[in-house]
Chain A
Amino acid sequence: MAFVTAAYLVAAALFAAYALSLAARQRLIAELSEATRPPAER
């Protein structure tokens, strides 16, 4: 059963890594959005 557990953990880790990369890109979008707002609105 150790191999099955390892396979399921690897799949979960890959999904988690992808979710983290999405979150990092979302932070970049938030920073760029802030930079594109007119100074009066900041």
Chain B
Amino acid sequence: MRLLLILGITLMLFGLTWALVLAPTELIQGPPQRIMYLHVPAVLTAYAALGIVFISSVLFLWRREARWDRLALAAAELGVLFVTMTLVTGSLWGRPVWGTWWTWDARLTTTLILWFIYVGYLIVRAWAPGERGARAAAVIGIVGVLDIPLIHWSAILLRTLHPQPTVFRPEGPALPASMLIPLAINLVAFLTLFLALLTLRVRQEDTLARLVEILEGGA
């Protein structure tokens, strides 16, 4: 786990330095386009985190094993972290390029809804501890993921300021290699760091559960 953490931080420092110093400046947008190297890995990592919330919530409701609930909680916290990063970096990218911090277009609105859903998940966890809260949160965790395909398709099917997908598209990435390589390095860095933090957080929850069990058993 420590190795994964060191690898993630090292890759991120390397990838973001490449993005800031070595990657070419985009001709139309200028320097603000460099926010892409944070914004895109952040949103894809958020999708991975919330995908784990979905799978572990299904397994928790099916098997009734607390370990799946602990995994879902840890992944949801990180999911909210990365969706927040996506929204804030997107806003900081939108201001110089679109001339506005925020607009209620389809992709931005569906992403904000995703953020509210998983902040709601964490509020349920905080205010309704125990089995009942865990079950309610699991339902939110499962239903909330349905927003992700909406976010993806919103920029394709609806009129939006947001650009069409430039990386994951049937005809291949539209980015030149000089931008695609640092983007890929940053994506790997974000995913590695996410896995390291997820492992650390799950271990904490496992230890806390054991300690609470000992304390309640002794009381």
| A interface list, Cβ under 8 A from B | 1, 3-4, 6-8, 10-11, 14, 18, 22, 25-26, 28-29, 32-33, 35-36
Contact = CB atoms under 8 A, between A and B. Distances in A.
Given A7-B93, A14-B81, 15 more contacts: A3-B35, A3-B92, A4-B20, A4-B35, A7-B39, A11-B85, A14-B84, A14-B88, A18-B77, A28-B208, A29-B208, A32-B212, A32-B215, A36-B211, A36-B215
Interface residues of B, number: 31
B207 interface: yes
Interface in B81-120: 81, 84-85, 88-89, 92-93, 95-96
A3 B211 contact: no
B123 to A, nearest CB: 16
A24 B69 CA distance: 21
17 contacts: A3-B92, A4-B20, A4-B31, A7-B38, A7-B92, A7-B93, A11-B42, A11-B89, A14-B88, A18-B78, A18-B197, A28-B208, A29-B204, A32-B208, A33-B211, A35-B215, A36-B211
B16 A8 contact: yes
Interface string B49-71: 00000000000000000000000
Contacts of A25: 204, 208
Most chain B beta-carbon neighbours within 10 Å: one of A4, A28, A33, A35 = A4
Nearest to B212: A32
A6 B218 contact: no
B197 A36 contact: no
- Main secondary structure on B side of the interface with A: helix
B38 A29 contact: no
Contacts of B215: 32, 35-36
B177 interface: no
A2 to B, nearest CB: 9
Nearest to A32: B211
A25 B74 CA distance: 13
Interface string B160-175: 0000000000000000
